[in-house]
Amino acid sequence: MLEDWLKSSRHTVVFTGAGMSTESGLPDFRSRHNGLWKKKDPSQIASTKALNENVEAFIAFYRERVLGVKEFGPHQGHYILAKWEQQGFIRSIITQNVDGFHQEAGSKRVAELHGTLQKVHCQTCGREYSSENYVNNDFYCECGGVLRPNIVLFGEALPQEAFQFALEEAEKADLFIVLGSSLSVTPANQFPLIAKENGAKLVIVNMEPTQFDRYADQVIHDKKIGQLLIELDKKISSPIKKV
């Protein structure tokens, strides 16, 4: 079913969540068994309040996350999505992930709804740096301000440019594929519904059920994302699709 839809669709959009990254080795936040938020209170460690009032704990937590991203990298599924974009099978990726693995694998049209750990910027003057500063224990800007990752903290709005791009892509989609998201975080979880309301077929691939499974045209719970993409790629990716 999904194979046929990928072949026939003219505007496929892929939406990725933590399940896409966990297959690279990165820990999840909300999984029932070993999610990061089972161990830490996000309001105390990943919020604007923490940045302003508990900066040492904030920096320690995010340095650990930056080091985690440096330790791992894209898996085969990321590379397949990048190839599909080149071949015209997919038009864009909307991601909740902050690891930058889609771009590292070669994807170009990516909306990072929650920002990226690949860069940091000064909380005071806004100057941008590589996240290598965090790796090297350099946490302060030349102006004296605190460097923070380019991610959306609890209490902050989504980046407007990424949000607008994602909205436009969801509205254009005739096939919308969710890969590895619990679809529990608003407003990001509204994009699959927007696509569905605009006539797209909705496919949800996630190891655990989501609240939006009942709206999907196809739900896949029994396959890892990488395995599914490898199988699909063997079936669809020989000829170059129309663009």
> For the domain that residue 181 is a member of, what is the CATH number?
3.40.50.1220
Question: Which parts of the chain have pLDDT scores under 70?
Answer: 28-43, 238-243
> Does residue 124 share a domain with residue 218?
no
Tell me which residues are annotated as active site.
114
- Residue 11: give the domain boundaries: 1-24+73-111+156-242
Q: Percentages helix, strand, coil for the chain, rounded to the nearest 5?
A: 40, 20, 40
Q: Is residue 181 marked as binding?
A: yes
- Residue 96 among known ligand-binding residues: yes
pLDDT at 9: 97
Total domain count, the chain: 2
Residue 199 shares a structural domain with residue 145: no
Residue 36 shares a structural domain with residue 103: no
Tokens coding 92: 């864009």
User: Do both 165 and 232 map to the same domain?
Assistant: yes
Provide the pLDDT for residue 26.
Answer: 80
Query: Are 211 and 167 members of one domain?
Result: yes
Cα 96 to chain centroid, rounded: 3
Question: Is 22 annotated as contributing to ligand binding?
Answer: yes
Residues 194 and 143 in one domain: no
3-state secondary structure of 13: strand
pLDDT value of residue 177: 98
Q: What gap in Å lies between CA 48 and CA 115, rounded to an integer? A: 15
Question: Annotated binding residue at 122?
Answer: yes
Give me the CATH number covering residue 133.
Answer: 3.30.1600.10
Among 97, 131, 150, the domain-final residue is 150
How many CB atoms are located within 10 Å of the residue 221 CB? 12
Is 54 labeled as ligand-binding? no
The predicted pLDDT at position 242 comes to 45
CA distance 78 to 84: 10
- Are residues 80 and 188 both part of a single domain? yes
Whether residues 106 and 130 share a domain: the answer is no
**C-alpha gyration radius of the chain:** 18
> Among residues 87, 122, 150, which one ends one of the domains?
150
In order of 44, 134, 180, the CA distances from 57 in angstroms are 9, 14, 29
Question: Residue 180: left if φ>0, alpha if ψ -120 to 50, beta else—which one?
Answer: left
Residue 174 and residue 54 in one domain: no
Does 236 share its domain with 195?
yes
pLDDT, tens digit, for every residue of 20-71?
Answer: 999 988 876 544 444 454 556 666 788 888 898 889 999 998 999 999 899 9
pLDDT at 35: 46
Tell me if 151 sits within 8 A of 115, measured CB to CB: yes
Residue where one domain finishes, among candidates 124, 150, 176: 150
Same domain, residue pair 210 and 103: yes
- Ligand-binding site membership of 186 (annotated): no
Can you give the pLDDT at residue 166? 98
What is the spatial distance between Cα 19 and Cα 78, in angstroms, rounded to a whole number? 12
Give the pLDDT score at 145: 96
Q: What is the pLDDT of residue 37?
A: 45
User: Do residues 64 and 78 share a domain?
Assistant: no
